[in-house]
Amino acid sequence: MLTTLWLVFLLAEPLPLEGKPAAGFTYDRFRKARNLWQKACHGHGIAHPAPKQPGWLVSEWQVTIDLEGHYATPWTTREIPLKVWQAIREDGTALWQKAERERGGQTQYEEVALVSNTAKFQDYGKSAWRTLVEDSEGREWKSWRRNLDLLEPQLLLARMAKRLNGLQWLGESPDEPELNVLSWSEENGLVRTLFIHKNTGLLDRVETLFHHYGFGDQIDTIRFSDYRAIAGGQVPFVIKERRYRDGVGLATLWQRRAVEKEQDQPEKHRAIWGGPAELPVPADEFHWSALGHHVYAVTVAAHNARVFIVAFADHSVVLDAVGDSQTGEALLALVAAKLPDQPVTKLVISHFHPFYTWGIRPYVQRGVEIITTPTVEPYLQRVTTNPHAVLPDALFLDPQSLNLTLVKESLVLSDGTNHLEIYDIGELSNHTPEYLVTFLPNLKLLIQGDLLWMRPDRPQHRASSRARGLHTAIEARELDVQTIGTTIDHENFLNWVPMATLTHAVEGGNGTFDATAHQTEDVTAATRNRPRTKTREP
């Protein structure tokens, strides 16, 4: 049912909404809050976008916990001294922590090792380690992550980058006019109030209002002071927290004894932690295939898309901008790694629909020439100039103008290495007023976005209006096409359509047609037998 609805949406593809930029009271206060957050990041030595190779800050703490309640007399406290070692990545993506204390003449431990999406910890000398993984049952893990992040401004500010739309500026503190006050809502509904020094951008304190099942309405408070310059940023050497957890009040004093910067993973401190040794490696989102004649196909699993790269002697051309800014950045990095001597200098946009355009922004920021048609220009102007303050990308941080080449009828790109022909088939697409297809004579390969929807498991005796229009356009230009490639990578449809299959369907052939009999081995072999992903709406 969901697949059917997805197809109805995709095949219909209505004109996009106007997409006017946000404005008004709420957005103005968000922009103010975001600017203050950015200043705080700089004050604390965090770079956003994050540095490619962040270092580690390794600290040694002396910690005293006053535990209130849970004893023979109400409101009595018990002091627990701890010695803590902690390492955090400067971009806030990982944290390792270990605490030890003397008890009964023996050293006992409360250890926490937290790396990306896994927490591993041991409580007070118990032999068994517990591992918490962020998944559908990972509420306890997320609680650990939130509690630990609050103890270092770098970690909290870095986590906020993932949810900037939760920011609002509340104004100056009534009792402390030197402080700006921001509110930040987390995905779990908790709202943090941040007090930030106007002049320095340093975090003074974080307050969290919540309802405790025993104590009623309470405010957790964490205060930061005694900032000192470390590794290009300011680091608090004193942290005071007053919090309520599990029916117990905690007043904790953190005093940092030493801190050092390490560029690489802190190998010499590895023995301190018993947690995971390495950061988890994310799954590869891209699958790179060589089609021959300096032409490559890159499948983008997250968007069920295929991007084609055509390499020339000293540059490369990308066909369509699928995904979003993050996808575009990753694709550009991949091409730079695979083809270091042929940087991307041109991007062809086939038509204005979102699936093919929303990854354009990093190309514009790099000054890449955008090749498209006149009716697409106004839409691209809006996509590339609307503010992206909630989730900043390269173009928002470094605005650039569109470098446009508008195609009327056709355009040929050619040198001694490759030859690419670009055609506007216009109304024949039966989809948009202008529509670019590209043809590679060396491969006899024509590339289009979404004009062919042909099932490999059903008789090919019906050609849609889009398919018929494409066939007419190919025949009218007398193109020697053997295979047609699609930008959409859909497991239920042919992604490589033999020209003979299209002709058979247009001519109204009956019976099942062997859709693979006429495929060229050099174009399709590299794309077979790869992992498939579930369909995701573009």
* pLDDT per residue as tens digits for the range 355-377: 899 899 999 999 999 999 999 99
Query: 478 and 508, same structural domain?
Result: yes
Asked if 322 and 382 sit in the same domain, the reply is yes
Share of the chain above pLDDT 70, in %: 67
Instruction: Tell me: do 201 and 292 sit in the same domain.
Output: no
Instruction: Give the pTM.
Output: 0.63
Q: Are residues 383 and 475 in the same domain?
A: yes
Domain boundary among 272, 305, 336: 272
Task: With cut-offs at 50, 70 and 90, classify the pLDDT of residue 88.
Answer: confident
Closest CA to 14 of 431, 423, 467: 431
User: What pLDDT is stored for residue 252 in this prediction?
Assistant: 83
- Statement to judge: residues 255 and 300 lie in one domain: no
Last residue of a domain, one of 272, 302, 332: 272
**In this model, does residue 416 exceed pLDDT 50?**
yes
Range of the domain at 196: 31-272
What is the pLDDT confidence band of residue 146, given thresholds at 50, 70 and 90? low
Task: Tally the domains of the chain.
Answer: 2
Does residue 440 sit in the same domain as residue 412? Answer: yes
Give domain status of residue 268, yes or no.
Answer: yes
Say if 439 falls within a structural domain. Answer: yes
Do both 243 and 336 map to the same domain? no
> Which CATH number do you get for residue 248?
2.50.20.10
**Considering the domain boundaries, does residue 91 fall inside one?**
yes
Residue-wise pLDDT tens digits, 50-59: 544 556 777 8
* Number of other residues whose CB lies within 10 A of the CB of residue 395: 21
* Secondary structure of residue 442 in the 3-state scheme: coil
Annotate 187-225 with b (16+ C-beta within 10 A) or e (fewer): eeeeebbbbbbeebbbbbbbbbeeeeeeeeebebbbbbe
Of 136-145, 435-444, 479-488, where does mean pLDDT reach its minimum?
136-145
Element (H, E) at 67: strand 56-68
Mean pLDDT in residue range 426-449: 95
- What is the pLDDT at residue 505? 87
The answer to whether residue 300 is domain-embedded is yes
State whether 296 and 155 are in the same domain: no
Q: With respect to residue 225, please indicate whether it lies within any of the assigned structural domains.
A: yes
The pLDDT-based confidence of 121 (bands split at 50, 70, 90) is: low
Q: Does pLDDT of 4 surpass 80?
A: no
Asked whether residue 365 falls in the same domain as residue 252, the answer is no
Please tell me whether residues 104 and 144 are part of one structural domain: yes
373, 293: one domain:
yes
User: For the chain, what is the mean pLDDT?
Assistant: 77
Cis peptide leading into residue 343 (ω within 30°): no
Q: Which residues contact 494 (CB under 8 A, 6 or more apart)?
A: 452, 454, 455, 456, 486, 501, 515
For residue 387, tell me if it sits in a domain.
Answer: yes
Per the DSSP assignment, residues forming a β-bridge with 102 are 107
Among the candidates 229, 251, 272, a domain finishes at 272
Residues 6-15 have pLDDT tens digits of 343 344 444 4
pLDDT digits (tens, 9 = 90+) for 161-198: 888 889 999 999 999 999 999 999 988 788 999 999 99
Helix residue ranges, H only, 213-302: none
pLDDT surpasses 80 at 326: yes
For residues 240-257, give the mean pLDDT. Answer: 76
| Residue 406 and residue 341 share a domain | yes
What confidence tens digit (pLDDT) does each residue in 45-85 have? 776 555 445 567 778 888 887 766 655 555 556 677 777 77
